[in-house]
Amino acid sequence: MTGSRLAGRVAVVTGASRGLGAAVAKRFAAEGAHVVLIARTSAGLEEVDDAIRAGGGAATIAAFDLLDSPAIDRLGAALFERYKKLDILVGAAAQLGTITPVGHIGPKEWDKVLAVNVTANWRLVRSLDPLLRASDAGRAIFVTDRVAGDAAAYWGTYAASKSALETMARIYAHEMATSTVRVNLIDPGPLRTKLRAEAFPGEDPAIQSHPDTATEAFVALAEPKCTRHGEILRPAASPSAAA
């Protein structure tokens, strides 16, 4: 354990098997949170769980595909049964899709990217909203990208999904205005992740920051004392992923 800023908090982190999600999960655990790790791959989640436990933290593995909507509903029921609340939700899982002209986007790919990047986050809100309200300081944090507002050529599927996510999150924030729940988005900028490598296969990954460098902003938004609400934070003041 390295800190106590999230001591006693219960956090759900999607996309927790690698990249930004894994980095945030490990940092939350190091700050005292019990982290529920969500991703499709059990092996990746087990590695993150091992790292958390080696550091003295606590985690629970929940391996399922975010395309499995009933599983998301079951998650809410399981968390209620065990904790009766949820303090922090981080939606870090994402699909890129193909960088291609809008007219060339395949229907199945479009549906899948929107399902992971938008619909799954809506299902999480639908399932977990009562638990966030039951917390003394519920926090919902979603990951976005500047490409959502840039309308850059060829980024149609990913940009459209992030734009929709931003709108949904901001509406949810307005709806939570009189509650103790705080809802924000973070654009961490380019990071050394698999998604970045898929978008820029010829790029030297070493030129981008490690995901660990982006975790402080997530901790700050997850803390009970945080008052920020309905914002899109860009802590790195970085260029768009499409740049």
Active-site option among 83, 154, 158, 172: 158
Do 62 and 34 touch, CB atoms closer than 8 A?
no
Nearest Cα neighbor of 11 from 147, 144, 128, 108 is: 128
Local structure of residue 63 (DSSP, 8 states): E
Q: Is 83 labeled as catalytic in the residue annotation?
A: no
Q: How far apart are CA 232 and CA 165, in angstroms?
A: 11
List, in sequence order, the alpha helices (H) in 151-193: 156-175
Nearest Cα neighbor of 147 from 99, 202, 210, 212 is: 99
**Which residues lie across from 191 on neighbouring strands?**
209
> What's the longest Cα–Cα distance across the chain?
50
Other residues' Cβ atoms within 10 Å of the Cβ of residue 178: 6
Q: How far apart are CA 24 and CA 149, in angstroms?
A: 25
List, in sequence order, the alpha helices (H) in 58-119: 69-83, 107-114
Point out the residues that are catalytic.
158
